[in-house]
A = this chain, B = another copy of it.
């Protein structure tokens, strides 16, 4: 095959980097399962009609065509073609409706899978990446308490990832109803439009957003500035949130008995519950931050973004919210709440910024040396004895000079090299050498154990 070439936006890890990604995945799975989430995997493709329905990413879909169909793709309407999923929420909604009879509700699920976005290559963004999601889906209704529990599960998961170099994470929460009520109270009607522009605040700044609100969302200058004031509001507890919000409503003449205020208050009460309950369980892990808007338009209540201390440039690394209308079947609704970690970006940060790295490339603790090819069976036997006791072992690729065999172990980071006894020598014993410490001693494949510190492939962070 000709020399391969990397494809922009499709990251691939080297073996030692993959160790870090795999540990991150294992850790997340462990936390999700400890919390009673059920693992599923959905097919990589969905019908175009499903993919096109919701969300701003609908323009970044990869559609599929069979080789035989090339040139005739247009014969099939896009809605009937297959496309790669761009997130794990749309597939979950479809899965829940399709299998509702076989699921127990509320259905708590975790899912770690690749997703694809057909972005323009030149942007340097990932077009293939791994997401790690948790969601809970109700049948008909879904209690509010999941809106605080799910971000807290993610916080505990991200806390566990600090051993791989991740800084402390803080969830910033808002509620769509709070924003909508306030905007309506100001007299605005293009709620989705306002949310979409507010979502750009961190990227383009307040003045640009104000301009967009005036130009595209029917706001006058005062209304635009009021929206921005709301977006500046943050609070660490429900009382502070409530006081600041009411002061803002008073300033902008939003009457506390208006429909708009009532809607906003509904959102505010949920948000206050979330920050207060989170503070009880994990102080400082969740704050109210009213600029959080989430571009995707399927959210209907709580919305979350998560930021890492000292890594603002990364943006939100774990986002989500409550969506009451994504899945339905006839009269039946399946409201949900969930969050998604952008895992590939996180691993990239760990590797390239935090200095996380595997202690060795190979999972093997031991390389069994081979004195000559005729004796390879003896070395294989030793390796199999070690493996049967759970000790990962490799066998030297060739009966090269011993120095070359040790160099192979060293290159793979394998800490021990095993020297089989010379079969021609009476009473000769196997020996094992730790090539890191130089320590060498007699050993029996039926009972020897590696020192704990050298037993496992691990990930450490540079000091």
Evaluate whether A70 and B74 lie within 8 angstroms (CB atoms) in the complex, with A11-B43, A36-B362, A377-B277 already known.
yes
Query: A residues 307-325 with Cβ under 8 Å of B?
Result: none
A33 within 8 A of B: yes
Q: Are A5 and B397 in contact (CB under 8 A)?
A: no
Interface string of A3-46 (1 = CB under 8 A from B): 11111001111110011011000000000011111111111110
Evaluate whether A18 and B41 lie within 8 angstroms (CB atoms) in the complex, with A71-B74, A392-B33 already known.
yes
Q: Are B398 and A143 in contact (CB under 8 A)?
A: yes
- How many copies the complex holds: the figure is 2
Partner of A18, one of B1, B13, B39: B39
Dominant secondary structure at the A interface: mixed
Evaluate whether A18 and B40 lie within 8 angstroms (CB atoms) in the complex, with A10-B45, A277-B377 already known.
yes
A441 within 8 A of B: no
Q: Give A367 to B10 CA distance when docked, in angstroms.
A: 41
Binds B, one of A102-110, A184-192, A234-242, A349-357: A102-110
**Chain B residues in 8 Å Cβ range of A82:** 7
Nearest CB of chain B from residue A54's CB, rounded to whole Å: 8
Partner of A98, one of B6, B11, B277: B6
Q: Are B61 and A67 in contact (CB under 8 A)?
A: yes
Evaluate whether A36 and B1 lie within 8 angstroms (CB atoms) in the complex, with A7-B43, A65-B62, A82-B7 already known.
no
Interface string of A59-100 (1 = CB under 8 A from B): 111111111101101100010001110000010011101110
Binds B, one of A194-202, A284-292, A326-334, A418-426: A326-334
Nearest CB of chain B from residue A63's CB, rounded to whole Å: 5
Q: Are A44 and B95 in contact (CB under 8 A)?
A: no
- Report the nearest B residue to A96, measured CB to CB: B4
Q: Give A83 to B62 CA distance when docked, in angstroms.
A: 10
Q: Give A82 to B68 CA distance when docked, in angstroms.
A: 15
A227 within 8 A of B: no
- Report the nearest B residue to A298, measured CB to CB: B1
Q: Are A14 and B67 in contact (CB under 8 A)?
A: no
**Chain B residues in 8 Å Cβ range of A328:** 1
A404 within 8 A of B: no
- Report the nearest B residue to A6, measured CB to CB: B98
Q: Give A311 to B362 CA distance when docked, in angstroms.
A: 36
Q: Are B3 and A329 in contact (CB under 8 A)?
A: yes
Q: Are A64 and B84 in contact (CB under 8 A)?
A: yes
Q: Are B59 and A67 in contact (CB under 8 A)?
A: yes
Q: Are A384 and B13 in contact (CB under 8 A)?
A: no
Q: Are A380 and B149 in contact (CB under 8 A)?
A: yes
**Chain B residues in 8 Å Cβ range of A54:** 1
Q: Are B50 and A4 in contact (CB under 8 A)?
A: yes
Q: Are A78 and B73 in contact (CB under 8 A)?
A: no
Q: Are B363 and A37 in contact (CB under 8 A)?
A: yes
Evaluate whether A63 and B53 lie within 8 angstroms (CB atoms) in the complex, with A1-B326, A7-B45 already known.
no
Partner of A97, one of B4, B39, B40: B4
Partner of A38, one of B281, B327, B361: B361
A342 within 8 A of B: no
Q: Are A97 and B3 in contact (CB under 8 A)?
A: yes
Evaluate whether A102 and B14 lie within 8 angstroms (CB atoms) in the complex, with A94-B1, A363-B33, A376-B145 already known.
yes
Q: Are A62 and B70 in contact (CB under 8 A)?
A: no
Nearest 9 interchain pairs by C-beta: A36-B394, A4-B94, A66-B118, A33-B363, A36-B364, A10-B43, A4-B98, A104-B411, A34-B387
Contact sample, A vs B, 19 pairs, CB 8 Å cutoff = A1-B93, A1-B327, A3-B98, A3-B329, A4-B93, A15-B103, A22-B39, A34-B392, A36-B362, A36-B393, A44-B128, A45-B128, A59-B68, A61-B66, A62-B66, A104-B408, A145-B373, A149-B380, A277-B377
Residues of A bordering B, CB below 8 Å: 1-7, 10-15, 18-19, 21-22, 33-45, 47, 49-50, 53-54, 58-68, 70-71, 73-74, 78, 82-84, 90, 93-95, 97-99, 102-104, 106, 108-109, 114, 116, 118, 128, 143, 145, 149, 277, 280-281, 326-329, 361-364, 367, 373, 376-377, 380-381, 383-384, 387, 390-395, 397-398, 408, 411-412, 414
